[in-house]
Amino acid sequence: MLMKHVVMNSQLPLLYCAKNCMRLASSPVFRRQRFLIRSLGGSIDYHTNCSSGKMQSVEVDAERVIREITPVLDRSRHKGQAGNIAVIGGCREYTGAPYFAAISALKIGADLSHVFCTKDAAPVIKSYSSELIVHPVLEESYSVREEDKKNISSKVLAEVGKWLERFDCLVIGPGLGRDPFLLDCVSEIIRHARKSNIPIVIDGDGLFLVTNHLELVSGYALAVLTPNVNEYKRLVQKVLSSEVNNEDPVEQVLTLSKQIGGVTILRKGKSDLISDGDTVKSVSIYGSPRRCGGQGDILSGSVAVFLSWARQHIEAAGPDSYLSSKNPAVLGSIAGSAMMRKAASLAFSNKKRSTVTGDIIECLGKSLEDICPAGSCSL
């Protein structure tokens, strides 16, 4: 059969294929990744398919990751230990997206969830839920005179800055809009978050911002980008000066992450591909055929919580543990992706075509409980 395949496909001789596979298997990156995943009890993240020469991802055990990083609920813990998340977004036109991201963080299990939005958006977001802490501090160009922009920008940064150190993760972009002055202010917030070593999850219009200003996230290992199809296309065009390669998506997402300095990219699709430039993981479990708007906001809020839990988990494990070599941004992305898919599947089984974003949010708690019952998971 092998000889028949070689004759039929003269463009890929068997000898070349064997050498290619041996070269990949002997590479330091491959050996390191195989060791890490074996430690988790899973399989390698990607391999070369010898019939095509293309790198392929392997499904990761996402439920095991969730069980591993989700903290125990016990009476000794105090408010804030299970996560203090902030969403930077929300303007006149878009008030639903920041609410979905922030409330999802609470439904997953974060203790506190904040929204920093424009003054116009704040009353609307407050009306959605009394559970959220809403800060009406952002400004858009229409409400700021040119001569006042520098002063207003400093005030915005000061208002956000006095809270920054309290947060375990920022979600930047849901409902942000593309107002130039507002984006300039958010750029400064990102720079300050980096200086404080605070993880950031970037979605929606936040991706529009960083695609045009890659220096904001380049080289920041605690940054996660969560592009959809169109956002990913713009990133690829900007960074790689090419078009999306659906024939070899694993190789491309790996290269894209490397080119942005090792940020974690969660490419949303039929299977979510997650890469930090060293490894590629695939999450394709569960899911729903119903594609209502707002699911990306649920994902970003979920990733933020799991990222913060993964970071705490790794720090608690200590430098001598194999956990110390894992990337919390990757672990958080895996867990957030799987949780979103499971909740969407559960919501669809109940509501079918009438499923909306709120239905999925209400299924987050049960989805996590099914995988990791309260009190049974460990930190």
Does 230 carry a binding-site annotation? yes
Tell me phi and psi for residue 120, to 5 degrees: -70, -35
Does 234 carry a binding-site annotation? yes
Does 295 carry a binding-site annotation? yes
Does 228 carry a binding-site annotation? yes
Does 233 carry a binding-site annotation? yes
Does 42 carry a binding-site annotation? no
Does 366 carry a binding-site annotation? no
Does 290 carry a binding-site annotation? yes
Does 41 carry a binding-site annotation? no
Does 358 carry a binding-site annotation? no
Does 61 carry a binding-site annotation? no
What are the residues whose beta carbons fall under 8 Å from the beta carbon of 251, sequence distance 6 or more?
Answer: 54, 55, 245
Distance CA 23, CA 32 (A): 14
The CA-based dihedral angle spanning residues 198, 199, 201, 206, taken in that order and rounded to the nearest 10 degrees: 40
Distance CA 116, CA 99 (A): 11
Does 296 carry a binding-site annotation? yes
CB atoms within 10 A of CB 296: 22
Does 291 carry a binding-site annotation? yes
Amino acid (one-letter) located at 86: A
Does 229 carry a binding-site annotation? yes
Strand 264-267 and strand 272-275: the pairing is: antiparallel
Does 271 carry a binding-site annotation? yes
Q: Where are the beta strands (DSSP E) in the chain?
A: 46-49, 54-57, 84-88, 112-118, 133-138, 169-172, 200-202, 223-225, 264-267, 272-275, 280-283
What DSSP string describes 79-107?
TTTT-EEEEE---SS--HHHHHHHHHHHH
Does 293 carry a binding-site annotation? yes
Amino acid (one-letter) located at 148: D
The Cα-based distances of 177 to 121, 134, 202, 244, 362 in angstroms read 12, 18, 13, 25, 26
Q: Kindly state the tokens that stand for 275.
A: 């890469």
Does 38 carry a binding-site annotation? no
Does 165 carry a binding-site annotation? no
Does 301 carry a binding-site annotation? no
Does 19 carry a binding-site annotation? no
Does 231 carry a binding-site annotation? yes
Task: Pick out the residues of the known binding site.
Answer: 175, 228-234, 268-272, 287-297
Task: Pick out the residues of the known binding site for (6S)-NADPHX.
Answer: 175, 228-234, 297
Task: Pick out the residues of the known binding site for ATP.
Answer: 268-272, 287-296
